Amino acid sequence: MARTKANGIEIEYETMGSPNDPAVLLIMGFALQMTRWPEGLKRGIADAGFRVIWFDNRDVGLSTEFTQFTPPSPMDVLTAAMTGQDASKLVPYTLNAMAADSAGLLDAIGVEKSDVIGVSMGGMIGQLMALDHPGKVRKLIPVMTTSGDPMLPPATPEAMMALTAVPASRTPEAIGDIAVHAQHAIGSHPDLRNSAELIRARAIEDFRRSDKPFGMARQYTAILGTPRWHERLGQVTAPTLVLHGADDPLIRPAAGQDIARRIPGAVFKSYPKWGHDLADKMADTLVADIVPFLRA
């Protein structure tokens, strides 16, 4: 892995493929490290003739941790947003800042323009990157994510509890247990979902690589405190393909459909049995749709 400075922070990143190939930037979701990208997805895109770039978002993994900021109360941030106040003033940073990280990473490693694939929170960041830094985004693929419209259908209560659950202790065993519970609550149908053993093992590996619970909390308030962007999506000029699981209980398919409705010319595709996870068994299916779109 490599490390560079961008947007005033240090970012841990990795690449696959030739530097001479068109770049594809992968932006990970809430609280997850760069290690969670399925190998089949990265390899499939790289083997199709693209340079794949993935990285740790700020406050997770091995990128800069914002230890100077105490995470604000999520309820305070949410209440401010719902009552028309400027919730962005309550949070250490917004998703716009994380979009600037992504654009800055491309600049730092000499990439003029890139296709952008973002999952969940990473898909929100990707949309804001296309809005705030349009010159850096060639094509946009938001995956299992939302337009930010607060009127969209909410997550199921079970999915929301899984997203915000906190382990009783920060031990490898507790982290593994809570990861399995979360993936059973928000993940794909058992036909697609990774095994409990694999989910547990990867969660423990990531815990040992980097454990930043306060960073995760700051990322969560960044999602809540970012000014909504759904009404800006008509300004996106990058060709856009929206991908979503038909069985996603956390960010409902209607959220992906709303992105496609708002971005001119965008295409929406959903997949049966896919929930809110990066199941290994989905890699080939996604590559089969992503690569032709990127090549078109």
- Region label for 39, one of left (φ > 0), alpha (ψ between -120 and 50) or beta (otherwise): alpha
> Which pLDDT value is given to residue 163?
84
- Give pLDDT tens digits along the chain (296 positions): 899 999 999 999 999 999 999 999 999 999 999 999 999 999 999 999 999 999 999 999 999 999 999 999 999 999 999 999 999 999 999 999 999 999 999 999 999 999 999 999 999 999 999 999 999 999 999 999 999 999 999 999 999 999 888 898 999 999 999 999 999 999 999 999 999 999 999 999 999 999 999 999 999 999 999 999 999 999 999 999 999 999 999 999 999 999 999 999 999 999 999 999 999 999 999 999 999 999 99
Q: Do 83 and 245 form a contact (C-beta atoms < 8 A)? A: no
Sheet containing 137-143: give its strands across: 2-6, 9-16, 51-55, 23-27, 114-119, 137-143, 241-245, 267-271
Determine the length of the chain: 296
> Which pLDDT value is given to residue 164?
84
Distance (Å, rounded) from C-alpha 204 to C-alpha 129?
31
SS3 128: helix
Greatest CA separation for the chain: 49
> Which pLDDT value is given to residue 142?
99
Nearest of 45, 127, 44, 119 to residue 274 by alpha carbon = 119
